């Protein structure tokens, strides 16, 4: 089954509104229309609306870096699905390892956020990944299987088909160390096989599985040559317009 590659830039806690708009305007010029690719940028909450205006009329989609599961309430510092939709978001990143590591995100809260996103017609990008200690202990398969099963718990096959999964080995995020294409493909393939059991063969064939973890122009071509890698969730490299443009315009290899 043909899956449209998805290249998403997670800007994390970088960029004032002025800086974010300047970056968005550059990207609108270079990758505003790239055939056969889908592009998402996820700026900080404060820059969502102005970035949305900067990419209006292009094929670049707007994403958020997090969302709460309640529609409103006394949840200081959180953000609701309606707020993201109003700002123009169509995607939302859920369960990023930095959220898990620094802000107490758990498999359960990832699942609650996922269902809120689905109910609001937002496309969730669900992040999973093992730590270096877990990889060294040969626990990668068990950790990923648990995170995928817990994150998607209670979702129907049709709902799972609307989701995106991002495999981000924690030991490769922001370290400059990237999983080899073979290591990434092995995990991506295992996730896709798990999706067969959680949903169906058809759904497993539809779900896009992204790789994240020190993705850059120098390694994107090799990563995208793997059959189960459907795109990338890019961190630091997405803050450089030229670098991210090259990532989006990766060169497909003939197998």
Active site residues per annotation = 96, 168
The length of the chain is 255
Name residue 125's beta-bridge partners: 93, 164
Torsion angle defined by CA atoms of residues 128, 241, 123 and 202, in that order, rounded to the nearest 10 degrees: -70
**How far apart (Å, rounded) are the C-alpha atoms in residues 92 and 89?**
7
**How far apart (Å, rounded) are the C-alpha atoms in residues 9 and 119?**
24
Residue 80 per-residue DSSP state = -
The structure tokens 């707020």 sit at: 83
Residue 12 per-residue DSSP state = -
Task: Compute how many other C-beta atoms are within 10 angstroms of the C-beta atom of residue 52.
Answer: 18
Task: Compute how many other C-beta atoms are within 10 angstroms of the C-beta atom of residue 134.
Answer: 18
**Phi, psi of 223, deg, nearest 5:** -65, -45
Say if residues 177 and 215 touch (Cβ distance below 8 Å): no
Q: Three-state SS for 138?
A: coil
């Amino acid at each position: 089954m043909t899956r449209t590659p998805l290249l998403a830039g997670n800007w994390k806690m970088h960029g004032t509104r002025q800086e974010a708009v300047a970056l968005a305007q550059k990207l609108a010029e270079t990758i505003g229309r790239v055939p056969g690719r889908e592009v998402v940028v996820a700026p900080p909450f404060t820059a969502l609306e102005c970035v949305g205006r900067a990419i209006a009329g292009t094929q670049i989609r707007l994403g958020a870096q997090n969302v709460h599961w309640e529609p409103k309430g006394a949840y200081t510092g959180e953000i609701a699905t309606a707020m993201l939709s109003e700002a123009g978001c169509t995607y939302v990143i859920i369960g990023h390892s930095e959220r898990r590591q620094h802000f107490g995100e758990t498999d359960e809260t990832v699942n609650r956020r996922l269902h809120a996103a689905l109910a609001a017609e937002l496309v969730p990008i669900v992040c999973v990944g093992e730590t270096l200690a877990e990889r060294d202990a040969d626990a990668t398969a068990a950790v990923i299987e648990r995170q995928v099963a817990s994150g998607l718990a209670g979702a129907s096959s049709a709902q799972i088909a609307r989701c995106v999964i991002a495999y981000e080995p924690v030991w490769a995020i922001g370290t400059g160390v990237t999983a080899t294409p073979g290591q990434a493909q092995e995990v991506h393939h295992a996730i896709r096989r798990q999706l067969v059991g959680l949903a169906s063969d058809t759904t497993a064939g539809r779900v896009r599985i992204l790789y994240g973890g020190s993705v850059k122009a120098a390694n994107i071509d090799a990563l995208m040559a793997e059959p189960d890698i459907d795109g990338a969730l890019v961190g630091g490299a997405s803050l450089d317009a030229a670098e991210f443009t090259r990532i989006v315009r990766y060169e497909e290899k003939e197998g």
